[in-house]
């Protein structure tokens, strides 16, 4: 039975305060050499160099506000220990976890300890023939199935550990959100019953969560702007849902 409304697409908010990041970064595939509009490669795990990064929290809206305890950054989360414990207890998935260095907006150390985490459980649950996206056609209403928009790259072995998500140093990805993804057809029966958050197979960096888990998570987030910890996009129409968030927070 397909019940896509039970799940949401967790997206980094376009508006609201964000982390500032500094430090030494690592290698990534240069997909621009293959064409101007070629999609970039996205990790399905934490970067190898995340422990070398410094994450600086945004200035709170009001003096005396508590430190924000949850952020989406790139394709992973930055969170305090209380949120980490929530994930460990309830997410029922594999987690890539790394303690990270964090500073307050004024350059002093944060009061809380923060962790980078990435849900690494991968579930083969997307129907690529019934999930739709819109290529850059003159007719923007024209939709194509995911199966017609798959990106595939062969990677140098030195990059495979971080980016390969298939055999033989291969990277495979369904269309990204910015490519006009509309309908995502979830095969509910493929998802383990108790799994609350995961990455779909062949959609690296995309985080799908149950609505119940997302609602509980948002209820314990603090220190930031309500509605700006993450955006919970409707899988039945990602574009419309994303546009609605943009409208509501302008």
> What is the per-residue pLDDT across 122-147, written as a single tens digit (0 to 9) for each?
999 999 999 999 876 545 568 899 99
Please state, for a pLDDT cut of 90, what percent of the chain lies above it: 75
Average pLDDT over residues 215-234: 93
1 has pLDDT over 50: no
Q: How confident is the model at residue 154 (pLDDT cuts 50, 70, 90)?
A: very high
Average pLDDT over residues 56-75: 87
pLDDT at residue 166, rounded to an integer:
94
Per-residue model confidence as pLDDT tens digits over 156-188: 999 999 999 999 999 999 998 777 888 999 999
14 has pLDDT over 70: yes
Average pLDDT over residues 11-34: 92
pLDDT at residue 141, rounded to an integer:
66
pLDDT at residue 226, rounded to an integer:
84
Map tokens 């409208």 to a residue. Answer: 247
Closest among 56, 10, 1 to 196, alpha carbons compared: 10
Average pLDDT over residues 77-88: 98
pLDDT at residue 107, rounded to an integer:
95
pLDDT at residue 4, rounded to an integer:
43
95 has pLDDT over 80: yes
Q: How confident is the model at residue 3 (pLDDT cuts 50, 70, 90)?
A: very low
Mapping DSSP to helix (H, G, I), strand (E, B) and coil, where does residue 190 land?
Answer: helix
**Long-range contacts, stretch 126-129, CB < 8 angstroms, 24+ apart:** 126/174, 126/184, 126/185, 126/186, 126/187, 126/200, 126/201, 126/202, 126/203, 127/2, 127/185, 127/186, 127/187, 128/174, 128/202
117, 79 contact by CB (below 8 A) = yes
pLDDT at residue 60, rounded to an integer:
82
């Amino acid at each position: 039975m397909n019940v896509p409304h039970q799940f949401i697409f967790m997206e980094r908010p376009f508006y609201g305060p964000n982390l500032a990041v500094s430090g030494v970064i690592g290698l990534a595939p240069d997909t621009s050499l293959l064409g101007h509009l070629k999609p970039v490669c996205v990790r399905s795990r934490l970067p190898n160099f995340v422990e070398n990064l410094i994450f600086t929290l945004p200035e709170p809206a009001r003096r005396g506000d508590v430190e924000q305890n949850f952020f989406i950054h790139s394709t992973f989360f930055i969170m305090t220990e209380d949120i980490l414990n929530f994930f460990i207890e309830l997410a029922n998935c594999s987690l890539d976890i790394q303690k990270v260095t964090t500073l307050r907006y004024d350059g002093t150390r944060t009061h809380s300890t923060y962790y980078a985490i990435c849900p690494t459980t991968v579930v083969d649950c997307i129907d690529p023939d019934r999930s739709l996206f819109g290529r850059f056609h003159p007719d923007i209403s024209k939709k194509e199935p995911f199966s017609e928009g798959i990106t595939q790259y062969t990677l140098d072995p030195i990059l495979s550990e971080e980016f390969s998500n298939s055999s033989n140093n291969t990277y495979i990805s369904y269309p990204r959100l910015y490519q006009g993804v509309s309908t995502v057809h979830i095969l509910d029966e493929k998802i383990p019953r108790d799994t609350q958050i995961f990455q779909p197979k062949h959609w690296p960096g995309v985080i799908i969560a149950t609505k119940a888990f997302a609602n509980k998570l948002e209820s314990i987030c603090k220190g930031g702007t309500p509605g700006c910890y993450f955006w919970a996009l409707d899988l039945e129409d990602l574009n419309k849902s994303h546009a609605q968030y943009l409208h509501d927070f302008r």
